[in-house]
Amino acid sequence: MYAPVDRGLDDNRWGDLVHAGPDDSAITQIQDGLPGSGPSSVAVVAGMLDALILEPDHDVLEVRTGAGWNAGLLAARAGRGMVTSVGNDGSLAAAAGARLTAAGFDAAGHTGTATRAGRRPRRTTG
């Protein structure tokens, strides 16, 4: 069972839970009584990105946009216009897109499934 913490009522407690530590993940959205969204632990994200061996100009499709944090990290490494992120929750995807734009990242966000991500055409060089 999940005990909700309303950020508007207790911002400090919410922050303590969401940003508990580098090895801790959090749940920030419940859908039908089940975890729906939340940031992965910093250690897990760092390990995934390290294993990915992402280079500048690699074309990236990220599935499950969430807050947009990982898409921002991917865009910082891959470069402008190289990241497309898709999430199935329109409100989360819109909020993530706004955060990414405000932070100066060029990462396309879409609502849908990975099979219908509306990918941008691949860039060609030469």
Task: List 108's β-bridge partners, or say none.
Answer: 84
Per-residue pLDDT tens over the stretch 74-109: 999 999 889 888 887 788 888 888 888 898 888 777
State residue 57's pLDDT score.
93
86/39 Cα distance (integer angstroms): 15
State residue 122's pLDDT score.
46
Tell me the whole-structure pTM to 2 decimals: 0.69
Q: What is the DSSP string of 91-126?
A: HHHHHHHHHHHHTT--EEEEES-GGG--PPPPP---
